[in-house]
Chains A and B, each alone.
Chain A
Amino acid sequence: MDTPLLEFSNISKAYGQVHANQNINFQIHKGQIHALIGENGAGKSTLMKILFGLEHADSGEIRLRGERLDAKSPIEAKKKGLGMVQQHFQLAPALTALDHVILEQPHSFLGSFFEKLNRDEWRQKLENLSEQFAMPLPWDQTVDQLSVGLQQRLEILKLLAFDADILILDEPTAVLTPQEVDAFLERLRSLRDSGKTIILITHKLREVIAVADWVTVLRQGKVAGTFAYEGQSPHSLASLMVGKAFSPQEFERKHSSNEILVRVQNLSCTSHGVRKLDRVNFEIRSGQILGVAGVHGNGQTELIKALIMPKESGLHFEGSIKYGEDDLLHLANKDIRKLEVGLIPEDRLQQAVIPALSAKENYLLGRHDFFKGRWIRRHRRDKELEESMEEFDVRPRNADLPFASFSGGNQQKIVVAREVNREPNLLVVAEPTRGVDIGAIEAIHASLIATRDAGVGVLLVSSELEELLRLSDRIIVMSKGQIKATLLREEFDVERIGCLMGGEA
């Protein structure tokens, strides 16, 4: 058998007590799409960082075309033909697409002062490249005018322009609509057919099924399996990832009550001349989950801010949000939260918690019931937190640890527990399972359903369509700040929602 393109042998890497990678062994063959899957914290990112020279392995080696690759920095890795698209794009909004590519070309520091930017030459070259890979791009537009999909295309073309032949893509489809995902996967196939090797880091099994030639599953820092994809069922992959038999549970649908809890009327918001919310009308009913579908950045963020922190957000809202007697738009966050409104915000580490504080202290956030005047009701808090950690199986079960030392899934479990156990009337949830492993997803979903069954009105914003379809009683689809449709459960249809998300009627 010929030498593999890339070979990982005995790669280990530990951060303090945590073994991020342990004796990783597997091979990647030329001209394949190699899916690297695993739960969050399984060690995918660490491994790719080592490959790309951002981190250094404690032991073991990586061989590229049979030669030892010991990239000290990304620059070195790029020279050897590796290219990586990070999950969060590394683009400067004010530069044009063309300039981004020119920026990447190697140059000496002194030379950079005198070098002429050969824009015309580059444009010609890039347009040829675009054509060759069927990925057209408006090269002279600045990045802030490009859609997220086009930004991603730019990141990939940037790699191709400098002849990368191993492309590492970290969760590339997280930002795309379902239609865009299909087109994107199609493009990956054609890239492969032109001889490129692609390492696809993902936790979405659908993508693996669609394109992968070879799959490597990581679990708890070790390789749980590496095999040609053919003949595998998605469930067997999921089981490998989690380490136990996995079958998603169907939730029973109870309709205990469905009174109108919140009535949003003509809610509009304009920020920097852009209409972020455009006369939005909907109701949240108690005992139901209202799903909000839409590509990220179509008004969901503003919608949540209107519900949770209209005053503090710095945005100007029109319309009204009736919640019982009150109009939430006229209240401060503190008072809204006192009306038993729970919140699981989209950006966990930025908005839900304070990573430097302990789990115990984080459990106090937004919980006015844990305060008595100026003092903290320590015992009540400790008792509830202990029970929550037990119930959600949070590990390690030590509430005094800094929040940042828990893994993503365990962090989110604590946040969910905090918001659910406050016994809210209204629960606003955004991206509850982003960056969370499969086991935790199940626990979080079950908890949201239980909350709904207890009669709580839930607003669920998610960019994971599967999640919405699974949990919601109704779905509203947002595009460009408008509600394009409201669908009842019987009317749920992936195709249709996808079209609506893309802005088509």
Chain B
Amino acid sequence: MKRALLGFVVGMTVCLSLTWFAGENPFHVLSVLFKSAFGSWDDLALTLFYTTSLIFTGLSVSIAFHAGLFNIGAEGQLNIATVVTTGVGLFFTFWFPPTHVAVALIYSVASVLAGLLAGGFWGFLPGYFKVKRDAHEVILTMMLNFVAAGLAASFVTNNQNPNSQNPESSPVSPLMSWQPWDPLHKLAPDTPFNISFLFAVAAALILGVLLYKSRWGFEIRSTGLNEEAAQMNSIPAPKVKILAMCLAGLFAGGVALNEIFGAHMKYRLGFSPEYGFIGIAVALLARNHPWAILLSAFLFGALQKGAGDLDLETNAITRDFAKVMQAILILSVSSFSLWKGKKK
């Protein structure tokens, strides 16, 4: 932990010196970053909104990692989940318009479940073909990202919101929104921050327990660390791998909670600043431990939030700088925490 922190400091220093080369004052950049991420109550809430999605994708990537698989498909899985959630929500909105809040709540829960299942299915596909046909999961998940993006685009084209210039779907019935009863939303009503944050934290805590204390977690980790031994000792490794990929998709689908009913009520094309890929970084930084993911997701959430304002507040630095920072931080933190001291 000490080393990881040291790595973080070194990484930050390198990042900031880069801004100096770009002609900015690094201290100014740092203060913009900091203010933007934690400067006010609303800023912090927005950071936590990003954090929520990143917890979900981080968990998605990490659970696949534990089973020895590399899930690059969280982006596609969360897209599919969000599209399906919206789609089912719209279906209810148009065909069975809710009249009562209680009915609307049931609708929203049903939509979210459908979305999670769809995400799970999007994870199942590469898992299944990996096991049965020995197709590489990295290729499959990456390709499925494109398929998901295509489906999402087609969904938006067919359900374009008539009242908007942006590429986004029609909104679901406002009755279905969780905001009226959401305590977290009340804390920061001007931001999309919502109760999904609690769900994400709970998911991470529970996954941490299951992974390290239950039979199921033991089977996943065994399969990931030594498939042959697992298979010789009563662990059905192929099934475990498919299951892990399904769960990975399901967790990625959690983003739909945060995006649709928690906040925006509609599918906005390109809503995700690549949550799925940042999720890989989140999982890497946390070394795949679900509890540590809470922390690393928060860190990347802050970076994501801060980088947006850097774009506005400085001349030379663009939004993409967030990715540069992510890369440098991952490299420095992981190399510092893996460092075993001087080699003789």
A binding-site residues for B, Cβ under 8 Å: 56, 58, 308-309, 312, 332-334, 337-338, 343, 345, 350-357, 361, 364-366, 368, 371, 373-376
CA distance A191 to B153 in the complex (A): 75
Partner of A343, one of B225, B233, B236, B344: B233
Contact B218 A309 (CB under 8 A): no
- Top 6 nearest A-B pairs by Cβ distance? A366-B233, A365-B233, A337-B234, A354-B226, A334-B234, A354-B225
Residue of B nearest to A365 (CB): B233
In the complex, B327 has a CB within 8 A of chain A:
no
Question: In this assembly, does B151 line the interface, its C-beta being within 8 Å of a C-beta of chain A?
Answer: no
Is B47 positioned at the interface, with any CB of A under 8 Å from its CB? no
Residues from chain B with a CB closer than 8 A to the CB of A365 are: 222, 229-230, 233-235
B344 — which chain A residues lie within 8 A by C-beta? 56, 58
Measured in the bound complex, the distance between the Cα atoms of B222 and A366 in whole Å is 11
In the complex, whether B320 has a CB less than 8 A from a CB of chain A is no
Contact with A along B216-232 (1 / 0, CB 8 A): 10100110011011111
A356 near B225 with CB under 8 A, answer yes
**Bound complex: CA A309 to CA B238 (Å):** 13
CB closest chain-B residue, reference A347: B228
21 CB < 8 A contacts A-B: A312-B231, A312-B237, A334-B235, A337-B233, A343-B232, A350-B228, A350-B229, A352-B229, A352-B233, A355-B226, A356-B225, A356-B226, A357-B221, A365-B230, A365-B233, A365-B235, A368-B234, A371-B215, A374-B215, A375-B215, A376-B213
Least CB separation from B214: chain A residue:
A374
How distant is the Cα of A361 from the Cα of B229 in the complex, in angstroms?
A: 13
B215 touching A376, Cβ below 8 Å = yes
- A308 to chain B: which residues have CB within 8 Å? 232
9 more A-B contacts (CB under 8 A) besides A357-B221, A357-B222, A366-B233? A56-B344, A308-B232, A312-B231, A333-B234, A334-B235, A337-B233, A343-B233, A354-B226, A376-B214
Q: Interface on chain B toward A: helix, strand, loop, or mixed SS?
A: helix
User: Which chain B residues border A56 with CB–CB below 8 Å?
Assistant: 344
A309 and B235 contact, CB distance less than 8 A: no
B282 CB → nearest A CB, Å: 22
* Nearest CB of chain A from residue B177's CB, rounded to whole Å: 36
Give the complex CA separation of A154 and B79 in angstroms.
Answer: 58
Q: How far is the CA of A308 from the CA of B231 in the complex (A)?
A: 10
Contacts of B230 in A (CB 8 A): 354, 365
State A338–B235 Cα separation when bound (angstroms). 11
Give CA–CA (A74, B344) in the complex, Å: 17
In the assembly, what is the distance between CA of A245 and CA of B49, in Å?
70
Known: A343-B232, A354-B229. A361 touches B218 (CB 8 A): yes
Q: Which residues of B contact A357 (CB under 8 A)?
A: 221-222, 225
On chain B, the residues within 8 Å of A345 by CB distance are 232
Task: Establish whether residues A376 and B231, one from each chain, have CB atoms under 8 Å apart when the complex forms.
Answer: no
A38 CB to nearest chain B CB (Å): 24
Residue of A nearest to B215 (CB): A371
Closest residue of B by beta carbon distance from A58: B344
Chain B residues, CB < 8 A from A368: 234
Among B221, B230, B233, B235, max chain A CB count under 10 A is at B233
For residue A343, which residues in chain B have a CB less than 8 angstroms away from its CB? 232-233
* A contact residues around B214 at 8 Å (CB): 374-376
Contact with A along B72-90 (1 / 0, CB 8 A): 0000000000000000000
A284–chain B nearest beta-carbon distance, Å:
19
Bound-state Cα–Cα, A343 to B214, Å: 24
Q: How far is it, in angstroms, between the C-alpha of A357 and the C-alpha of B226 when the chains are bound?
A: 10
CB neighbours of A356 from chain B (8 A): 225-226
CB-defined contacts of B231 to chain A, threshold 8 Å: 309, 312, 333
Q: What residues of A have a CB within 8 angstroms of the CB of B234 in the complex?
A: 333-334, 337-338, 365-366, 368
Which residues of B lie under 8 Å from residue A374 when comparing CB positions? 214-216
Residue pair B232, A333 in contact (C-beta under 8 Å):
yes
Closest approach, in angstroms, between the C-beta of A22 and any C-beta of chain B?
Answer: 16
Q: Within residues 197 to 255 of chain B, which ones have a CB less than 8 A from any CB in chain A?
A: 213-216, 218, 221-222, 225-226, 228-237
Chain B residue nearest in CB terms to A377: B215
Interface centre among A337, A353, A354, A373 (most CB of B within 10 A): A354
Residues from chain B with a CB closer than 8 A to the CB of A334 are 234-236
- Which residues of A have CB within 8 Å of B225? 354-357
Residues of A within 8 A of B221 (CB): 354, 357
Note all chain A residues with C-beta closer than 8 A to B213. 375-376
Contacts of A364 in B (CB 8 A): 218
| B93 CB, nearest partner CB in chain A, Å | 38
**Chain B residue with Cβ nearest A336:** B234
Give Cα A355 to B233, complex, Å: 14
Q: Distance (Å) between the CB of B155 and the closest chain A CB?
A: 37
Contacts of A361 in B (CB 8 A): 218, 222
Which residues of A are found within 8 Å of B226, using beta-carbon distances?
A: 350, 353-356
Q: How far is the CB of A78 from chain B (nearest CB, A)?
A: 23
How far does the Cβ of B242 sit from chain A's closest Cβ, in whole Å?
A: 15
A-chain residues with CB within 8 Å of residue B229 when the two chains form the complex: 350-354, 365
Would you call B215 and A351 a contact (CB within 8 A)?
no
Contact, CB under 8 Å: A366 / B236: no
**In the complex, chain B residues whose CB is within 8 Å of the CB of A353:** 226, 229
**Closest residue on chain B to residue A371 by CB atoms:** B215
Instruction: Enumerate chain B residues within 8 angstroms of A355, measured Cβ to Cβ.
Output: 225-226
Name the CB-closest residue of A to B212: A361
Nearest residue, chain B, Cβ from A366: B233
Give the CA-CA distance A373 to B214 in the complex, in Å.
9
Alpha-carbon distance A350/B232, docked complex (angstroms): 10
Assembled-state Cα–Cα distance A375/B219 (Å): 11
Given the known A-B contacts A365-B222, A376-B215, are A332 and B232 also in contact in the complex, defined by CB atoms under 8 Å?
A: no
Nearest Cβ distance between residue A230 and chain B, in whole angstroms? 40
Q: Give the nearest-CB partner of B231 in chain A.
A: A312
Asked whether A309 lies within 8 Å of B215 as measured between CB atoms, the reply is: no
Q: Give min CB distance, A407 to chain B, whole Å.
A: 19
A368 CA to B236 CA, complexed, in Å? 13
Cα distance, A379 to B56, chains bound together (Å): 33
| Separation of A383 and B45 alpha carbons in the complex (Å) | 49
